[in-house]
Amino acid sequence: MTAVIDFQGVTRRDGGLARLDALDLKVNEGEVMALLGHNGAGKTTTMHLILGLLSPSEGRVAVLGGAPDGAHAETLRRRLGYLPENVSFYEQLSGREVLDYFARLKRVERGQVGELLDRVGLGHAAERRVKTYSKGMRQRLGLAQALLGGPRLLLLDEPTTGESDQFGNTALICFSRPATRRWASFTLSTYSCSTTC
C-alpha cells in the first residue's frame, strides 16, 4: 500500500521548545486518521509539517511521495484540501463568489461550486455575503473550499472549534457520500474525542 503521509523520526523545535519529538507516522492510501490531544500537543504543528508550512528540525516528512517543503510543494498543494482551525474569507463576497475565487486559485473546475455549497448545506445562502454568515456557516464554507477539486488528501484542523456537533454531522454526511470519497486519505485534528468517537 502507498503511504500518503510518512513521518520518520520527525522532531520540530522552536528555540528550546520541542513541538514534536521523534514522531513516526504512516498513513496509507484510503486510510482515515485522527490526531487526538490537548491544546499544545502538536496537532497543528503536524498539520503544518504535512502542508510544508514548516520543515522538520530532524527526520523526514514525505507527503504523496515527496517533501512538502521542497520542489514538490506546488504540485502537492493542488492535491490537498485544508480546513484551518480558524477560517477567514472576504466578507463582502457571497459564498458562491468565495468558492469561485478559490476554484480559480486552485485551477480546478468552477462548475463544482454549486454542488459543494449544496453538499455542505449552504445552497440556500450561496448568494448571501459572507459577513452575514454565522460561524458555523463559515466553517461549512471552509469545508466546501477544502473539498474543491477532489483532493487526494484532506486535512481538517480542529474543524468543530467553538461549534456544536452540527458541523461534525455535516462533515460526516459529506464524507460518507461515495462521490466525496475521491481523496486518498482524510486527516482530522481535534482535542475532543466526541468529534471522532
pLDDT score for 180 = 45
Report how far residue 131's alpha carbon sits from residue 196's, in angstroms, rounded to the nearest whole number.
30
Is the CB of residue 160 less than 8 Å from the CB of residue 168? yes
Phi and psi, residue 33, nearest 5°: -130, 140
Phi and psi, residue 96, nearest 5°: -65, -40
Instruction: Return averaged pLDDT per consecutive 10 residues of the chain, 197 residues in all.
Output: 89 91 90 83 90 94 90 84 87 95 90 92 95 91 91 82 51 48 55 49
Cell numbers at residue 165, please?
Answer: 456537533
pLDDT score for 92 = 94
pLDDT score for 103 = 93
pLDDT score for 159 = 74
Report how far residue 166's alpha carbon sits from residue 157's, in angstroms, rounded to the nearest whole number.
17
Is the CB of residue 147 less than 8 Å from the CB of residue 115? no
pTM of the complete model: 0.81
Phi and psi, residue 156, nearest 5°: -120, 115
